[in-house]
Amino acid sequence: MKTLTVELLKKEARTFGKAESAHHERGIYGVTDGKAVGTYFEHKFQKYLHAKYEYMEGSSAKGIDFPELGVDMKVTSIKQPQSSCPFKTARQKVYGLGYSLLVFVYEKTDNARKRTGNLKVLHMIFVDESRTADFQTTSGLLKIIENSSNSDDIIAFLHERFLPVDDIQAQRLAEEIIGTPPELGYLTISNALQWRLQYSRVIERAGEVDGVQRIA
C-alpha cells in the first residue's frame, strides 16, 4: 500500500467529492443535523482512503484527522459554512491553528420519492497552515506594524479584539508580533470555549491567494 501524502490527499479529496456528489444515500435522508452529516461524510472518506493508503487516522485525543500530515478535515453546509475546533491559545488567532485544513462545503437535498439524501460538494478547499489565522486580527496587526507602532499599540489592539489574554500574555504576544509579524490569515475565528471557524472568505478567495487552494 502507498503512503498517504498531502498531495495524494488533495487528489483523492477531489475524486471522492465528485463521486459523493453523484451518490444518493438512504442513511442521511431527512437528517438536518450538520454534525451527523459531517460525521457520515468524514467516516466514508476515511474508509475510502484506508482501502488505498497506509496512514495514521486521527482521533479526538490526537486532535486532527491526519496528524502525520498536519491536516484536519472540515465538512460544512453552504447554508452556514462554519465549524468548531479545539481552543489551545489566543496565539492561534494571530499565527494560525498550527495545522492545515481540508474543507468540504456541501449542499444537501432530499428525494422524498426515493427517500434518499444527496450531498453535492460545491467547494473543496485546502487552507495551508500559514493562512489559518483570523483575517481581521492579522490584517489589523499588519497595518499597525506598517505604521511603526510600538507594543502598547499592539496590546491595545489585542484587547479591542477581545483576545482571551491577560496583561502578561498580551505583552509577550505583542513582543513576538513585533519580532515576527504574522502572515495574513483568511479564516474568521470567533472567540468561544471552542474556536468557531467561518469559511465564507476562504470560499471567496480560494485560488486567488497563496495558501488557499481550490481543489475542485
pLDDT tens by residue, 83-95: 999 889 999 999 9
Nearest to 186 by CA among 200, 176, 196: 200
Mean pLDDT for 163-190 is 96
CATH code of the domain occupying 2-80+99-129+208-214? 3.40.210
Nearest to 171 by CA among 153, 149, 155, 182: 155
61 pLDDT band (50/70/90 cuts)? Answer: low
What residues does each domain of the chain span? 2-80+99-129+208-214, 135-179
Q: Is 4 left (phi over 0), alpha (psi -120 to 50) or beta?
A: beta
Which residues, including other chains, have CB under 8 Å from residue 105's CB and lie 6 or more apart?
A: 76, 77, 78, 81, 121, 122, 123, 124, 125, 199, 203
State the pLDDT at residue 60.
62
Q: Which residues pair with 72 in a beta bridge?
A: 101
Residue 40's φ and ψ, nearest 5 degrees, are -55, -50
pLDDT tens by residue, 116-160: 999 999 999 999 999 999 999 999 999 999 997 789 999 999 999
Mean pLDDT for 209-213 is 97
State the pLDDT at residue 205.
96
Distance CA 187, CA 148 (A): 26
Mean pLDDT for 107-124 is 98
Q: Is residue 80 pLDDT above 90, yes or no?
A: yes
**Positive or negative: CA dihedral 4, 10, 61, 52:** negative
